[in-house]
């Protein structure tokens, strides 16, 4: 079995990527890693004939290769279209809310200032609508904090949070209501039908904090996670949640996450991939 792993070089020596590759190879698969450091690619000679593609990287090159494999009928985990749905927070936010999945109120604006009326009514979290790994998040608990955020965005000093350039000079601003919740994050990871959830402090700094504490058996949480996977058509995914007085609330869904804190994650993922491809 030949597998193309669309993955950037892991940021940590403890990345689950190494375990997944090792377990795939020990299971008899040949794994080629393709990323922006792969060198020159002659598109006229590019052979998209792998038995499967593991679509993890957020890089434009990986997204383009996954798209090409998708339109040639390749087996992609996760699928190209499901992956691109959750990478767009505007689209995924709308899908979650319209499907009736508990999630914070979500807003999109064409400028930072257009968001002010919302900031006057409620605390908000502003983030890049195509961002990942928690980069660029701004919390505005009141209008004074929103003023400070707006000033940073206007100065262009990098504190622009959810203000993304749409390529035509417009700043797209994505925000969610900052809901009252426990002082913890919940992160749930799914491998097919298997779900493992952890609770951790926010923001998590150390490796121990990132691996969190196992939640244990929680049918409400597991059911909500599986609803998210079914909604987007994902098989290897994570769900970020908080717990409010009314129950869990889904903050966002991620494709092919890091699986920190999941026992034997590399073996589980590789086993699922091999079985799925066969």
Domain ranges across the chain: 2-83, 105-177
What does the angle CA 51 – CA 53 – CA 54 come to, to the nearest 5 degrees?
135
- Nearest CA to 257 out of 4, 16, 13 is that of 16
Question: Would you state the structure tokens that stand for residue 18, as one six-digit string?
Answer: 């190494």
What's the rounded Cα separation, in Å, for the pair 37 and 250? 35
Contact 21, 31 (CB under 8 A): yes
Question: Would you state the structure tokens that stand for residue 58, as one six-digit string?
Answer: 């957020």
- pLDDT of the residue at 214: 96
What does the angle CA 74 – CA 77 – CA 80 come to, to the nearest 5 degrees?
65
Chosen CATH of 2-83 out of 3.40.1350.10, 3.90.330.10, 3.40.30.10, 3.40.50.20: 3.40.50.20
Element housing 64 (H / E): helix 60-71
Element housing 144 (H / E): helix 143-155
- pLDDT of the residue at 127: 87
What does pLDDT average to in each consecutive run of 10 residues of the chain (278 residues)?
Answer: 91 88 96 82 81 93 94 94 95 96 95 92 88 73 92 69 52 89 92 96 83 93 97 98 94 94 96 92
- pLDDT of the residue at 157: 55
DSSP 161-189: TTEEE-SSS-EEEEEEE-----SSEEEEE
Element housing 52 (H / E): strand 52-55
Contact 274, 24 (CB under 8 A): yes
Q: Is 4 exposed, middle or buried (0-12, 13-18, 19+ CB in 10 A)?
A: buried
Main-chain dihedrals φ then ψ at residue 277, nearest 5 degrees: -70, -35
Question: Any idea which architecture 105-177 has in CATH?
Answer: 2-Layer Sandwich (3.30)
- pLDDT of the residue at 159: 46
**Residues counted in the chain:** 278
What does the angle CA 67 – CA 73 – CA 76 come to, to the nearest 5 degrees?
60
pTM score: 0.88
């Amino acid at each position: 079995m030949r597998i193309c792993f669309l993955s950037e070089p892991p940021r940590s020596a403890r990345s689950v990527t190494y375990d997944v590759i090792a377990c795939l190879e020990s299971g008899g698969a040949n794994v080629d890693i393709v990323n922006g450091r792969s060198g020159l690619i002659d598109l006229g000679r590019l052979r998209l004939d792998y038995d499967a593609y593991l679509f993890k990287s957020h890089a434009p090159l990986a997204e383009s290769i996954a798209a090409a494999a998708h339109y040639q009928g390749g087996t992609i985990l996760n699928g190209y279209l499901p992956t691109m749905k959750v990478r767009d927070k505007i689209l995924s936010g709308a899908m979650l809310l319209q499907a009736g999945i508990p999630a914070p109120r979500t807003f999109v604006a064409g400028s930072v200032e257009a968001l002010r009326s919302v900031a006057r009514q409620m605390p908000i979290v502003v983030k890049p609508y195509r961002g990942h790994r928690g980069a660029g998040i701004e919390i505005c608990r009141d209008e004074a904090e929103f003023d400070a955020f707006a000033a940073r965005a206007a100065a262009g000093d990098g504190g622009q949070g959810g203000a993304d350039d749409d390529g035509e000079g417009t700043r797209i601003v994505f925000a969610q209501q900052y809901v009252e919740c426990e002082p913890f994050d919940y992160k749930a990871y799914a491998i097919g039908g298997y779900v493992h959830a952890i609770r951790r402090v926010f923001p998590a700094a150390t490796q121990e904090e990132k691996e969190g504490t196992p939640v244990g058996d929680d049918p409400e949480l597991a059911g909500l996670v599986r609803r998210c996977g079914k909604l987007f058509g994902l098989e290897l995914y994570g769900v970020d949640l908080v717990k409010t007085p009314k129950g869990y609330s889904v903050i966002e869904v991620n494709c092919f996450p890091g699986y920190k804190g999941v026992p034997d994650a590399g073996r589980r993922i590789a086993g699922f991939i091999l079985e799925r491809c066969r």
